[in-house]
Chains A and B, each alone.
Chain A
């Protein structure tokens, strides 16, 4: 199979980037998209050119490293898969393929297709944790959790933090990521003590990072390799409103009657 690739090349964060076209030939339809990229890079290295920089790690769809927008779709064609799971048979022989980095003000570009997604780490640091006691290991079944609740929390916990939701969102919002991280802890009794501070802290950090706002297009849900539901965004909105408006800030202390 033969393809014409139009890849975004940018030397450094401050350099001016543009699309560069490459022709790759003799590609097996059963090779993965990243294997095709590896072959291209080997050719570039052989010619003494700078290979295309892109993120990848596990190459089995669980690490959330790969981050490309292929032909206008985050992670490329198909549902519920990351770029490493895309096979070249998804394209027709002779296709022109546009490869762009995830575009977001909060994901500064490092080089070519590699972006800095540490904004997500800072959102996690702002509340994506639970308090555990450091004594002897507790009896695992001492805290009963209904099966449906555990499954619901697991649906949110599937998030691999790849950032495809941000890349696919017409507004560059990180609502799906943040809401999934808030929900997978907030739905469980272990996450209850920090429920409100978690929502407020993580939402605040999300806004600080420069992500956009949700306009309910549901593009994130469609692009998510783990199929995370926008119902978690709805849940986060309600939790945020409750935490900021209804919950008392301070109810301790003495009071004067005059």
Chain B
């Protein structure tokens, strides 16, 4: 009842959007740190991917912990979008007749583009999961390990050989970070933790975090495409289940050709 009263108000919806946004931000930080393991080599990042499934395996079973995290994230995404859509509807109704001369004085491009970056991020997340988690979309060679999970290094390396996939990822990261530039500051304002005396630090936190996430995330597609990251050893000893019916070295070579 109390929760309902809270959520009925636009302030309640804003706070829900802020808290779920914070959860999604923390996930992004963890995801980015995981991605950076690509620079430690194929074994490290593939072992990390397996570790996510075996973490607390004794209690949750194989992949159990990961599924709990996925459910939490899914609920956060659904609540985040639902709250914001309801707020947008309220805001549209609040000004039925628009101004002939419309000018902005205080706001930022990031704040004004939230409504565009948000849907883009949603579409990107769906495509990203279909490409790397489920392997439903396979524009490039895709392998699975004997445990039935994606061979991270191999899949990433092959995907980012294609210039437009790498470019799409970099652009999407720019949009996510533009969203965060406003969102991370907004989050403190919405829950009431912002004050004139700490606003500078909150603003700095949002700016640094969004730029750091952008650099961390987009370094992977850029450096893979630029051949700074070495190709995966096709015969690196680990038995891999071929999902595509073509020999992988041939495809690797083909991928390089098409890029040139």
Contacts and interface: CB of A to CB of B under 8 A. Distances in A.
B185 interface: yes
B187 to A, nearest CB: 9
B102 to A, nearest CB: 5
The 4 tightest CB contacts between A and B, nearest first, are: A238-B192, A212-B94, A72-B103, A213-B10
A177 to B, nearest CB: 14
A171 B95 contact: yes
B14 A214 contact: yes
Contacts, number: 143
Interface stretch (B1-9, B63-71, B166-174, B228-236): B1-9
Given A98-B100, A233-B189, A234-B195, A244 B90 contact: no
Contact of A171 (B11, B94, B100, B193): B94
Contacts of A114: none
Contacts of A71: 101, 103
A170 to B, nearest CB: 7
A115 to B, nearest CB: 11
A106 B105 contact: no
Interface stretch (B51-59, B106-114, B238-246): B106-114
Interface in A113-139: none
Nearest to B83: A213
B192 A172 contact: no
Interface stretch (A39-47, A58-66, A80-88, A202-210): A202-210
A103 B98 contact: yes
Interface size band for A: 35 or more
Interface of A: 6, 8, 19, 69, 71-73, 98, 100, 103-106, 168, 170-173, 203-204, 207, 210-219, 221-223, 229-231, 233-241, 244-245, 249
B194 interface: yes
Interface in B168-191: 182, 185-186, 188-191
Contacts of A105: 93-96
Contacts of A213: 10-11, 13-14, 87, 90-91, 94
B101 A72 contact: yes
A103 B103 CA distance: 14
Given A71-B103, A229-B196, A244-B2, A215 B11 contact: no
Given A73-B105, A171-B91, A210-B94, A215 B114 contact: yes
Contact of B6 (A8, A172, A218, A245): A245
Contacts of A218: 106-107
Given A216-B190, A222-B106, A240-B9, A211 B99 contact: no
B131 to A, nearest CB: 32
